Amino acid sequence: MSYNKTPSITAETINQKVRMFTYEPCGGIVRHAQRLEQEIYENPGSLPFQEIIYCNLGNPQALGQRPIKFFREGVRSLREAVADGIAARDGFPSIPDSIFLTDGASSAINMMMQILIRSHEDGILCPLPEYPLYSGSIILHGGTMVPYNLTEDSGWGLEIFEVKSCLEEARASGLTIRAMVVINPGNPTGQVLSMTNQEEIVEFCRKEGVVILADELYQENVYTENKRFNSFKKVARSLGYDHKEISIVSFHSVSMGYYGECGRRGGYMEICGFGADVIDEIYKLASLTISPNIAGQILISLVMDPPKLGDGAFEIFMAEKEETCSSLLKRAKTLHKAFSSLEGVSCNKFEGAMYLYPRLQLPPSAIKAAEKERVNPDVFYVHRLSATGIVVVPGSGFDPVSGKSHFRCTILPGEDKITAMVPRLRAFHEAFMDEFRS
Ligand SMILES: Cc1ncc(COP(=O)(O)O)c(C=O)c1O
């Protein structure tokens, strides 16, 4: 079997528009200065000066005063905290230089699409159902989304031979497949991928020279006893593949988990398996926005380096975390039970993330009524449901092609709200089914 051993992502094969511009305010000289600064920090007195004076940025703080030193050193120590947290989580090393702190995961995902997509002929494998940030970002950056299906019957896992045939079909039509997006735990589908699936994905992407874009935002939202979160990097390293053999970008954010701080816009991406020249280009691209917000940077470092046994904050932190996680599970169970008991509704197991994704088997006359209104049946149902004050998202917003009807419901409203919502939902559903049953 011949494997594609050449790294597919090099400075020559990224979006060349990224290479065409320079951004010297944060360019090579500044990176050199940062290395010197690190040298001063690690070996005081090793250089003929004690500090770097940054006059490169049109940033008032940077020009006049010491905060820039704090800022630079601070940022490195936050990246160190993130890298240490990843290493402790995975049991494999992580280095601060592979960490990019970002304003949430969305900006990191967009940045990677910008790097990877050169033209419409570049394809990105993307799950269906998917979180539509991915399709949106692929379209905005001028690439082609190559969908692969998650299968409801296997708990929203995937069949790797089907992914392979999607890739082959796309290649036969002239596309170059650059990356495969995997959202684990899943949004909107709420599954935690099996280890077998993860290993298959790693083997597949390695052989095909495809980058894994691992959306790992819900890594702390796992509620099932028999599965746990494993990062794709950990799976690859456990299989014995190092950074020369497979490229993986992992995204994480302060928006999810038990912390749920969406508005703070903190996140990171860990980039493994790209050459230094590509990292330089990504650094340049990231520098166009000067810096992600400091509060978000601090928060993501705290998320990855939470209080430990013996720390003053430990007891309260653990109690709050436990309370939040067990309440989320309770809410999910209540909703799961309610959805599963409705006529014509089946609901996936709740394993992770923050969503249930029930399937609707609507009566033919409801489907006809939807056709008459020129909307998908799931939209028709969800629109009617919204008239009772319950708002969920129609599944066609996550998968416009399957033709099946689902809706996505978060488990986030408080326990009392969920308890109050269930009888309303049941009354609505029964009336809906009675209306359209004949
Ligand atoms: C799967 C997934 N990826 C990415 C994001 C974007 O997160 P952020 O708020 O960090 O930009 C979200 C937000 O809901 C998400 O659910």
What domain range includes position 33? 16-304
Residues 137 and 195 in one domain: yes
- Ligand 1 pocket test, pick from 109, 181, 256 with the greatest ligand atom count within 8 Å of Cβ, gives 256
- The verdict on 161 and 231 lying in the same domain is yes
359 and 420 both lie in a single domain: yes
User: Do 199 and 141 belong to one domain?
Assistant: yes
Residue 109 falls inside a structural domain? yes
* Distance (Å) from CA 255 to ligand 1 centroid: 7
Distance in Å, CA 233 to ligand 1 centroid = 20
Task: For residues 157 and 84, state if they share a domain.
Answer: yes
Nearest to 217 by CA among 274, 266, 280: 266
Would you call 80 exposed, middle or buried from its count of C-beta atoms within 10 A (0-12, 13-18, 19+)? middle
In a domain, 351, yes or no: yes
Atom number, ligand 1, closest to the C-alpha of residue 353: 16
175 plus 262 within the same structural domain: yes
Reading the block at residue 322, the tokens are: 């436990």
Q: Are residues 325 and 288 in the same domain?
A: no
Could you tell me which residue, 303 or 28, shows the higher pLDDT? 303
Query: Measured from the CA of 267, which atom of ligand 1 is nearest?
Result: 10
The CATH number linked to 148 is 3.40.640.10
- Picking from 272, 304, 336, the residue at the C-terminal end of a domain is 304
Ligand 1 centre and the CA of 133: distance in Å?
Answer: 8
Pocket of ligand 1, beta carbon within 6 A? 104-106, 131, 133, 183, 187, 215, 217, 253, 255, 262, 267
Which of 285, 304, 323 is the endpoint of a domain? Answer: 304
Strand partners, 410: 355
Condensed to tens digits (0 to 9), the pLDDT of residues 30-84 reads 777 788 888 998 999 998 888 776 655 544 444 444 443 433 444 558 999 999 9
The three-state (H, E, C) secondary structure of the chain, written as one string:
CCCCCCCCCCCCCCCHHHHHCCCHHHCHHHHHHHHHHHHHHHCCCCCCCCCCCCCCCCCHHHHHCCHHHHHHHHHHHHHHHHHHHHHHHHCCCCCHHHEEEECHHHHHHHHHHHHHCCCCCEEEEEEECCCCHHHHHHHHCCCEEEEEECEHHHCCECCHHHHHHHHHHHHHCCCEEEEEEEECCCCCCCCCCCHHHHHHHHHHHHHHCCEEEEECCCCCCECCCCCCCCCHHHHHHHCCCCCCCCCEEEEEECCCCCCCCHHHCCEEEEEECCCHHHHHHHHHHHHCCCCCCHHHHHHHHHHHCCCCCCCCCHHHHHHHHHHHHHHHHHHHHHHHHHHHCCCCEECCCCCECCEECCEECCCHHHHHHHHHCCCCHHHHHHHHHHCCCCCCEEHHHCCCCCCCEEEEEECCCCHHHHHHHHHHHHHHHHHHHHHHCC
Compute, in angstroms, the gap from residue 251 CA to the centroid of ligand 1: 9
Counting atoms of ligand 1 from 1, which one is nearest the CA of 183?
Answer: 1
Name the residue of 102, 111, 133 whose CB sits within 8 Å of the most ligand 1 atoms, as the mutation to test its pocket.
133
pLDDT of residue 69: 43
- Which atom, in ligand 1's list, is nearest to the CA of 253? 10
25 & 168 share domain: yes
pLDDT score of 20: 73
**Same structural domain for residues 206 and 80?**
yes
183-238 residue pLDDT tens: 999 999 999 999 999 999 999 999 999 999 999 999 999 999 889 999 999 999 99
CATH code of the domain covering residue 412: 3.90.1150.10
Q: Does 309 map to a domain?
A: no
Domain boundary pick from 304, 338, 354: 304
- CA 374 / ligand 1 centre spacing (Å): 30
Atom of ligand 1 nearest to the CA of 187: 1
Alpha carbon of 289 to ligand 1 centroid (Å):
20
Domain presence at residue 76: yes
Answer yes or no: is 1 within a domain.
Answer: no
**What atom in ligand 1 is closest to the CA of residue 131?**
1
Residue nearest ligand 1's atom 7 by CA: 105
pLDDT at 437: 87
Which pLDDT belongs to residue 389? 87
Terminal Cα distance for the chain, rounded: 58
- How many angstroms is it from 217 CA to the middle of ligand 1? 7
Q: What distance in Å separates the CA atoms of residue 246 and residue 236, rounded to the nearest whole number?
A: 8
The reply to whether 4 falls in a domain is no
Residues 242 and 326 in one domain: no
pLDDT at 139 over 80: yes
| Gap from CA of 106 to ligand 1 centroid (Å) | 6
**In the chain, how many domains are there?**
2
What are the contacts of 395-403 at 24+ separation with CB within 8 A?
Answer: 395/129, 395/188, 395/357, 397/132, 398/128, 398/129, 398/130, 398/131, 398/132, 398/188, 399/128, 399/129, 399/130, 401/128, 401/147, 402/128, 402/129, 402/149
Residue nearest to atom 13 of ligand 1 (CA): 255
26 pLDDT tier (thresholds 50, 70, 90): low
34 CA → ligand 1 middle, Å: 31
Q: What's the rounded Cα separation, in Å, for the pair 280 and 24?
A: 12
Instruction: Tell me how crowded residue 107 is: count the other CB atoms within 10 A of its CB.
Output: 17
| pLDDT of the residue at 55 | 56
Segment 96-110, tens digit of pLDDT: 999 999 999 999 999
Task: Please tell me the predicted confidence (pLDDT) of residue 110.
Answer: 96
Within a domain: 341: yes
- What integer best gives the mean pLDDT of the chain? 90
What average pLDDT does this structure show over 276-298?
91
Instruction: Name which residue leads in pLDDT, 246 or 14.
Output: 246
Measured in Å, residue 309 CA sits from the centre of ligand 1 at 30
Same domain for 396 and 252:
no
- Substitution candidate for ligand 1 out of 253, 262, 300, 411 with most atoms within 8 A of CB: 253
Is 147 found in the same domain as 201? Answer: yes
Residue 8 lies in a domain: no
